[in-house]
Structure 1
Amino acid sequence: MQAAQVKDIRVGQQPGSTRLVFELDSSVDHRMFPLSNPDRVVLDINDTDISQDVVASLSALSSDALLRVRYAKRDSGMRFVLDLNKKVKAKTTKLAASGGYGPRILVELDYGVQSSSAPTVVKSLASISDEKRDIVVVIDPGHGGKDPGALGQYKVREKDIVLSIGRELAKRLNAKPGIKAVMTRSTDVYLQLRDRSRVAREANADLMISIHADAFTKSSARGASVWALSLSGKTSEMGRWLAQQEQSADLVGGISLDDKDQLLAEVLLDMSMNSTIQMSLDIGKEVLGEMRGVAKLHKNSVQQAGFVVLKSPDIPSILIETGFVSNKTEAKNLSSLTYRRKLASSIAKGVEDFFVSNPPDGTYIAWQKTQKGGYTYTVSKGDTLSEIARKNGVSLDSLRSANTLRNDVIWIGQKLSIPAS
């Protein structure tokens, strides 16, 4: 029997109580009991394992009542020890998968109401309730492991470049309240195309971003581009070539995807995919607009082609070609960590701008926009006051009024109050 995985641990604080949510990828049994001298609560979860990403986040888990969270492997499961700052009444509740989350174990630590102030979130801006979930963006650095991808000038390898950009992109998206980045690979490992899509589906992704950096037969070919799925078969010569390159990656592992029922089903999609494709195009447009300030573009609009990795029927997906390593100038750019960070920042801003304007129902960002008094927006490079008003769904006059602005002059890093729309 394969062990369940602890996918995430979130902490929220309310007046007089702390709540921890242990999110799993499958339902398993658990037990909890308190200990004293010192005060702590022990949670044993059966037939479970934990990823290093979740382990790395444990140090950030704390609240008024919670000092820290420790863990240890115990038989076939995991033991979590919640060290406490004060005496509490502890109870657990098993929650079924819903609202974009997997099965969960809710641990409540009650210690009496301390004040009448509004609840505040300590660790994750995703609410314990399903009404304030994070927007999940799956980042897929192409190739990896035994598949190096394109090889180019200055001995650069596609798999290394896109992994670096993917990590930087994840870092920036995770810094945005209400957005959670999940990577299909965070190390130099090989993944088949269908496994990349599986990661997105298991993460209940709102968006999948596949990152590549190809080579072309002509060294003069250059420019970054953004791609969405095409079902019509109408695509450019470059699009057909890139799709062939992307789909041939699985042959490196000696496995053909041609006879797989799941992929066949995805290829035979009907008109119901049109809304997903349109959303992909809209997100791609925002991302391409931001990338324009960093990279030379191959095309000024989002392109479409039949990439297998984009063929999720209900997950908006874009593929970003960050440049051509067969071109000397672009190989040099992509070899620079500074350039890769700028590129990742531009992609992140495009994604953030789209979801701030179009947050999925039930997410923290959607909830944030409904709150009285609105929320805060940080001005970034390239922003204008009118564009900020448009993206946040408010009038220019109300934005000026909320921030007592006499004109439309703004500066990078300025905090603007976005009024409730």
Structure 2
Amino acid sequence: MSDSTRSHTDLPPPGEVTASPARRRVIAGGASLLLLCSPWVRAAARSGPPSILAVRVWPAADYTRVTLEHDAPLKYSYFAVKNPDRLVVDIEGIELNAVLKSLANKIGADDPYIKLLRAGNYKPGVVRLVMDLKTEVAPQVFALKPVGEYGHRLVLDIYPAVPADPLMSLLDKREVQGDPMQAAARGDAPTAPEPAPAQTQAQVRGEPRRPVEAAPENPPPQQQVAREAPRKGGKPIVDRLVTVTLDPGHGGEDPGAVGQRGSQEKVVTLAIARRLKAKLDAEPNMRAVLTRDSDFFVPLGTRVQKARRLQADLFVSIHADAWVKPDARGSSVFVLSERGASSAAARYLAQKENDADLVGGVNFGVKDAHLAQTLLDLSQTATNNDSLKLAKAVLKEMGGINTLHKAGVEQAGFAVLKAPDIPSILVETAFISNPEEERRLVDEGYQDQVAEAILRGIKAYFSKNPPLAKSKLARLD
């Protein structure tokens, strides 16, 4: 019997939908590191076979992640089936419980890759998961050990077989919006820049999102394109198109720091990044690209990759700080340090942020030689000098809307700042662990103030450090 036939005939129809257990909240900041043993305590207290505790689905344009959390290690195998496309996962030694029966109810109709997910008893002692797919995919299936308040996790990452080209995505959007850059490239009369799209504000309120731009393996050759559209009050800050990569921290399985009122860092950072993107896109000669535009996890190295593949001029990572005591407050701006952190607190923060890959869940079995070379490249003195100039400009503007945690720019070994050829900064907008600042971080007015301050800092940096002409710039004609 073929695998294709067997998966149809041996799998029972989806079970009845039942309410899934309440999702556990990940504790804020570094305190989560103190709870590494908690899943082991739960496992030691259990009796009987392993059990699936929760299922979480994170759909996004980049990829869809399905996470099965369980209380003990599992033995599993998987294979793909064609005509129609399906992914089949067999899990040994577990029982078909209410959580697994609810799988079919967890896939939304708008999921870009998964049509249906169902589970059933394949044979004694084996539960089979069958994922009906909408298109050809390149799946990754891997296990994660307990970390923080998460127990063991089996992760199903469903990537498209052919990743989207971010440059084509930008081109398509600009053509639809009547982008003045396109007119300049074609030699037409310049037009005024389009205003920020109205849907950006809807996105901040959690309404439907736009697709995130995925990164191509080989970016096409780039050319310098001058924009002729004037801006209010004089000529543009820069005389060629510049790209700013905005990186909302955390996402998906990794909520980041959590405030006393339950506010999650990943939600705040995305809201601010969307607002900042709208402001940058409204500037002549500037465009912004998000490393994520919805609630899904992006590994730290992938965030760097996206910026480099787009030949970004700047990289701005947005976060909300946390400390073990609630009285810590203020905004900070960090750059990469090659010689150690500027303070013990900076070193602690960098370690906490770098641990995001452990919490979010990275398939460390997949290696990228190009990325590894990038992360190990320390010949970035010139880039670090530019990063420091950008950081000082942004810090000055942040000081106009909030108390500064430190008077100067801080330095630490953040993995997300290690692009050797892109000036990169990390902005800690405020302390989400401080009750007063938590209230401000979830306020749309303050979010807009933060976005405006970062924009002013970027423009101030470019006014004193005009971007050089590049032999490779994103081709938009």
Q: State the Cα distance separating 1:264 from its structure 2 match.
A: 5.1
Partner of 2:15: none
Partner of 2:177: 59
Partner of 1:97: 221
Letter paired with 1:97: P
What's the CA shift string for 1:259-303, capped at 9, x where partnerless? 965565445434x31111111001000000011110111011110
SS at match of 1:322: strand
The alpha-carbon distance between structure 1 residues 217 and 61, as it changes in their structure 2 partners (threshold 3 A), is closer
SS at match of 2:245: strand
Residues 318 and 427 in structure 2, CA contact (< 8 A), matched pair in contact too: yes
Q: State the Cα distance separating 1:339 from its structure 2 match.
A: 0.6
What's the CA shift string for 1:126-153, capped at 9, x where partnerless? xxxxx96311110000011121111102
Give the alignment of 1:204-353 within 5 angstroms.
Answer: 204-255=311-362, 265-266=373-374, 268-270=376-378, 272-353=379-460
The alpha-carbon distance between structure 1 residues 347 and 258, as it changes in their structure 2 partners (threshold 3 A), is farther
Residues 227 and 284 in structure 2, CA contact (< 8 A), matched pair in contact too: no
Structure 1 CA distance for aligned equivalents of residues 370 and 300 of structure 2: 12
Give the alignment of 1:406-421 within 5 angstroms.
Answer: none
Give the alignment of 1:108-123 within 5 angstroms.
Answer: 121=228
Pick one of 142, 147, 151 that aligns with 2:258: 151
Structure 1 CA distance for aligned equivalents of residues 352 and 224 of structure 2: 33
SS at match of 2:377: coil
Q: State the Cα distance separating 1:160 from its structure 2 match.
A: 0.6
The alpha-carbon distance between structure 1 residues 208 and 100, as it changes in their structure 2 partners (threshold 3 A), is farther
The alpha-carbon distance between structure 1 residues 178 and 122, as it changes in their structure 2 partners (threshold 3 A), is closer
Give the alignment of 1:122-137 within 5 angstroms.
Answer: 133-137=240-244
SS at match of 1:153: coil
SS at match of 1:212: strand
Structure 2 CA distance for aligned equivalents of residues 188 and 165 of structure 1: 14
Letter paired with 2:407: N
Give the alignment of 1:13-24 within 5 angstroms.
Answer: 24=168
Give the alignment of 1:196-207 within 5 angstroms.
Answer: 196-207=303-314
The alpha-carbon distance between structure 1 residues 307 and 263, as it changes in their structure 2 partners (threshold 3 A), is farther
Q: CA RMSD in A?
A: 3.3
Structure 2 CA distance for aligned equivalents of residues 279 and 254 of structure 1: 32
Give the alignment of 1:362-373 within 5 angstroms.
Answer: 362=469
Partner of 2:270: 163
Residue range with higher mean Cα deviation, 146-155 or 55-64: 55-64
The alpha-carbon distance between structure 1 residues 342 and 276, as it changes in their structure 2 partners (threshold 3 A), is same
Structure 2 CA distance for aligned equivalents of residues 139 and 179 of structure 1: 13
Q: State the Cα distance separating 1:253 from its structure 2 match.
A: 3.7
Count of residue pairs the alignment pairs up: 270
Structure 2 CA distance for aligned equivalents of residues 138 and 308 of structure 1: 16
Residues 184 and 196 in structure 1, CA contact (< 8 A), matched pair in contact too: yes
Q: State the Cα distance separating 1:185 from its structure 2 match.
A: 1.0
SS at match of 1:176: coil
What's the CA shift string for 1:302-340, capped at 9, x where partnerless? 100000000111111000011111101110110110011
Letter paired with 2:260: Q
Structure 2 CA distance for aligned equivalents of residues 220 and 244 of structure 1: 21
The alpha-carbon distance between structure 1 residues 6 and 314, as it changes in their structure 2 partners (threshold 3 A), is closer
Letter paired with 2:311: N
Structure 1 CA distance for aligned equivalents of residues 314 and 393 of structure 2: 13
Residues 149 and 214 in structure 1, CA contact (< 8 A), matched pair in contact too: no
Residue range with higher mean Cα deviation, 305-314 or 185-194: 185-194
| Structure 2, gaps ≥5 residues long | 1-135, 137-160, 190-218, 232-237, 471-477
Letter paired with 2:403: K
Structure 2 CA distance for aligned equivalents of residues 155 and 223 of structure 1: 19
Residues 305 and 371 in structure 2, CA contact (< 8 A), matched pair in contact too: no
Letter paired with 2:176: L
Structure 1 CA distance for aligned equivalents of residues 227 and 300 of structure 2: 40
SS at match of 1:323: strand
SS at match of 1:155: coil
Q: State the Cα distance separating 1:257 from its structure 2 match.
A: 6.1
Structure 1 CA distance for aligned equivalents of residues 433 and 304 of structure 2: 28
Structure 1 CA distance for aligned equivalents of residues 287 and 380 of structure 2: 25
Structure 1 CA distance for aligned equivalents of residues 444 and 412 of structure 2: 29
Structure 2 CA distance for aligned equivalents of residues 209 and 155 of structure 1: 25
| Structure 1, gaps ≥5 residues long | 9-23, 25-49, 66-94, 102-118, 125-130, 364-421
Letter paired with 1:235: S
Partner of 2:212: none
What's the CA shift string for 1:48-71, capped at 9, x where partnerless? xx57x9447603258779xxxxxx
SS at match of 2:433: coil
SS at match of 1:154: coil
Give the alignment of 1:355-366 within 5 angstroms.
Answer: 355-362=462-469
